[in-house]
Structure 1
Amino acid sequence: MRDPNRTHPFCKELAAIWSEKYPDLRFGQLMYNFIAWCSNTKKCDIFFPEEKEFMELFKEFCGVKDDE
């Protein structure tokens, strides 16, 4: 079983990036664009990544460096 405590830190980090990089987009717009990018550019099915890999992809999509 996955650690249920992983969800809040993940959502908090996603929200911080979303509000900084794309505050004018609705969540559905952001995810649609991200999923299309994953599929077309990274050739990745977003169904399979765990949260850590998902966040790495999301940061790359948003142009966030790990030291930001």
Structure 2
Amino acid sequence: MNESTARIERFLRTDPRDVGCEQAMEMLHIYVDLAAAGGGAQARYPGVAAHLRACGPCAEDFDGLLAAVGG
């Protein structure tokens, strides 16, 4: 499988709820606060949750912020 085919397959597997990097980063501080407080961040912001499952760099940012707030 070449790189173009791999990119197309990743795109086709993208959850339609995925909000993308830009919107996820805009909401990340709120999402982290809810997750740290056990406030159901995934249920409240399913598009951000979908994005964090699909995007390694954004998930790393989430994990780092969550660790910083002690969640």
Q: Same fold (TM over 0.5)?
A: no
TM-score (structure 2 length as normaliser) = 0.30
TM-score (structure 1 length as normaliser) = 0.31
Which structure would you say has the larger Rg?
A: 2
